[in-house]
Copies of this chain bind each other. A is one copy, B any other.
Amino acid sequence: MAQHDLGPGRLEAFSDGVIAIIVTIMVLELKLPEHVGEKGLVHGLLLPLTPKLVSYAMSFLVVAIMWVNHHALMATVRRATRTILWQNNHLLFWMSLIPFATGFLGENPRLPDAYAVYGFVLAASAGAFTLLRWHASTQGRDSPELSKVHRAVLGKSLLGTLLYAAAVPLAYVSIFASIAIFVAIPVMFFLPVFVGPATVNAD
């Protein structure tokens, strides 16, 4: 039992709980529109909901990618050290602000501020994840194959963090520049995400 508790088991359970709630409470931002009956499906429901649904789907994808990355990263962690516990709490703090940033963006799809806030929260989350991965990677030093994986994914993590950070000022130049970044990063991450677990699964 004790041995189990010193493994990353409970850290994963807690993170899964927080991430599951983060993913799900974003749906609460999809407030029910009023008077759909009079306005009809398109003007009463679809048009007002579209920006909310798009930002929800985008955030769901980002959080799901982070969870898959977390899943792959923790599979390489042998002990939940104090540093890993707090790096993880730090990550969960920034991720817990994603529903707020998502709701704000869904409510104000034409407001540069909303894209700046969204970019800032995602940059902070990606940065916290990079820190966690960097620290966790120091545990896997003895396995050269694992180190290769970590180095590869760390590069992408850092790049993603910087791109999200760039989306903050860019939002005031053109919201479409920020949108391009928000769309590009999941695409960029999608494959590398699997390099991690795939290689890990391999050994």
By a beta-carbon cutoff of 8 Å, the part of chain A in contact with chain B is 1-2, 4-14, 16-25, 27-28, 30, 32, 36-37, 40-41, 44-45, 57, 60, 64, 67-68, 71, 74-76, 78-82, 85-86, 89, 92-93, 96-97, 99-100, 103-104, 107-108, 110-111, 113-114, 116-117, 193-194, 197-198, 200-201
Contact = CB atoms under 8 A, between A and B. Distances in A.
B27 A96 contact: yes
Name the 8 nearest CB pairs between A and B, nearest first.
A17-B20, A5-B75, A21-B24, A82-B194, A41-B113, A64-B89, A18-B20, A1-B7
Copy total for this chain: 4
B19 A97 contact: no
A34 to B, nearest CB: 9
Given A20-B21, A23-B18, A108 B7 contact: no
Given A14-B71, A17-B20, 15 more contacts: A1-B8, A2-B76, A4-B9, A6-B75, A23-B92, A25-B25, A27-B96, A36-B104, A45-B104, A57-B93, A64-B86, A79-B201, A82-B193, A82-B197, A85-B197
Q: Is the interface of A mostly helix, strand, loop or mixed?
A: helix
Contact of A36 (B36, B75, B108, B198): B108
